[in-house]
Amino acid sequence: MFEVLQPPGWAKPSGYANGVAGRGKMIFVAGQIGWNEQCKFESDDLVEQIGQTLRNVADVLRAGGAASEHVVSMTWFLLDRKEYSARLKEIGVVYRGVMGRHFPAMTALQVSGLVEDRAKVEIQAIAMVPDQ
């Protein structure tokens, strides 16, 4: 459905793709955070917020007729890169539970703050539903 772009001689990335190419209907998912559909936080734990954030991304995708396997790019905004790095195994389990073993092009950034004070992560996504 998509072409993963892997330059010759480059080490294969783990958990993401260096690039993705495709053709189809584009869906742009605004930055989602770890609150529920009523804009209420149920946890202040980073991993739990990531799980909720990914479920929110998946809900928006479904509303547009897409699924996790259609995501071609994700940008993660994190408050604490050290906690993120220390909890990568837990995050991987949560990620695969929502997104499966689909690894789009990804960027992760540490930021000094997010608009919602309790948010520990924000994830923006771009999806492409292939032409029929």
Instruction: Encode pLDDT of 84-120 as tens digits.
Output: 999 999 999 999 999 999 999 999 999 999 999 999 9
Give dist(CA 22, CA 131) in Å, integer: 9
pLDDT in tens, 34-54: 999 999 999 999 999 999 999
Residue pair 15/30 in contact by the 8 Å Cβ criterion: no
What span, in angstroms and rounded, lies between the C-alpha atoms of 55 and 72? 17
Domain ranges of the chain: 23-130
Give me the pLDDT at residue 124, please: 98
Does 131 have pLDDT greater than 90?
no
- Rounded to two decimals, what is the model's pTM? 0.91
Q: What is residue 80's predicted lDDT score, i.e. its pLDDT?
A: 98
Contact 31, 124 (CB under 8 A): yes
Residue type for position 42: E
Show the tokens assigned to 48: 């739990």
Instruction: Please name the fold of domain 23-130.
Output: 60s Ribosomal Protein L30; Chain: A; (3.30.1330)
Reported as a single tens digit per residue, the pLDDT across 69-78 is 999 999 999 9
- Residues 113-124: tens digit of each pLDDT: 999 999 999 999
CB atoms inside a 10 Å sphere around CB 81: 12
Per-residue model confidence (pLDDT) at position 1: 75
- What pLDDT, on the 0 to 100 scale, is given for residue 7? 95
Residue 60, H or E segment? helix 46-63
* Dist CA 33 CA 59 (whole Å): 13
